[in-house]
Homo-oligomer: A and B are copies of this chain.
């Protein structure tokens, strides 16, 4: 019944805010105002903790990765849990840093045996999309979150614009297309905390898939039909090359310590691989563990993307209007929404 909560929000909370001369609303102020109940804990078995060798000054370098939840990319995610449990990455290294593209890590010899059961999945990179209900139909297990979010987003936009009429299916559809235009998907959305694309595949079946944003972690592979195992991983360190969507498995995202992967010297070899002459630039990976295996693992939480605060965040990002930004864009890219993630309070 989340969609009903949205309309209550519309009717009660927002008109007052629109009438007062309040300080400018910014993404930061929206996130700070979110209630404790709107934050969702990330399970330790969904966190991968990678410790790189300390930097030249002796500073520790820890990278924390949140693994992709169902229904996306689960065969690779299971491989990754198996590899972490086997401590397979310990002693491997970061081997490739290509500017405006990816940093990639794994076994530079490509000869290290994999644990039992780790094989390249034969599944596709997309999942079937259940029939799309209209935005005002009853709450639906998969699309409900998304549609609810859009209703909320639209509601907030209306209030920002000084309008308070109740949104209907037509203007919501219009708002969706205006606010998240995209070259790579028919529609984009944030589903259960993750940016996704939606569209029709070659067989005209409705499908959805996780998208490559800055910090996304994906599975390196050889030419098709190889799908990779998850032993070789990369993260996006520049403008996301979204044509990778549906062609490579997105298995997670870096949620802390991204700078330890993005600020490394670029490799001068083909595709940004470090050459043998630059072998000393390969950063050693000391260990990779699931947080569930670590006694002192950090705990994280993300802002519920079906919450009112998240809906408000999307609307504010799409309509920045404060001391610095005076020309609102009127839209926001699926990768620029940014799902707030923080250390657990």
> How many monomers of this chain does the complex have?
2
A75 on the B face (CB < 8 A): no
A335 on the B face (CB < 8 A): yes
Q: B327–A125 contact, CB under 8 A?
A: yes
Q: B331–A183 contact, CB under 8 A?
A: yes
Q: A324–B224 contact, CB under 8 A?
A: yes
A332 on the B face (CB < 8 A): yes
A174-213, CB under 8 A of B: which get 1 and which 0?
0000011111100000000000000001100000000001
CB closest chain-B residue, reference A267: B259
* Extra inter-chain contacts (7) besides given A100-B262, A184-B330, CB under 8 Å: A179-B183, A181-B182, A224-B325, A243-B332, A259-B266, A262-B262, A263-B264
Give 10 nearest A-B pairs by CB, closest first. Answer: A183-B331, A214-B239, A181-B181, A259-B266, A246-B327, A223-B323, A243-B329, A181-B183, A99-B259, A184-B329
Give 16 pairs: A residue, B residue, CB < 8 Å, sorted on A: A100-B262, A179-B183, A183-B318, A184-B330, A224-B324, A224-B325, A239-B239, A239-B240, A239-B336, A243-B325, A243-B329, A243-B332, A244-B325, A246-B329, A247-B320, A263-B263
- Interface residues, chain A, CB within 8 Å of chain B? 56, 97, 99-100, 125, 179-184, 201-202, 213-215, 223-224, 237-247, 258-259, 262-266, 317-318, 320, 323-333, 335-336
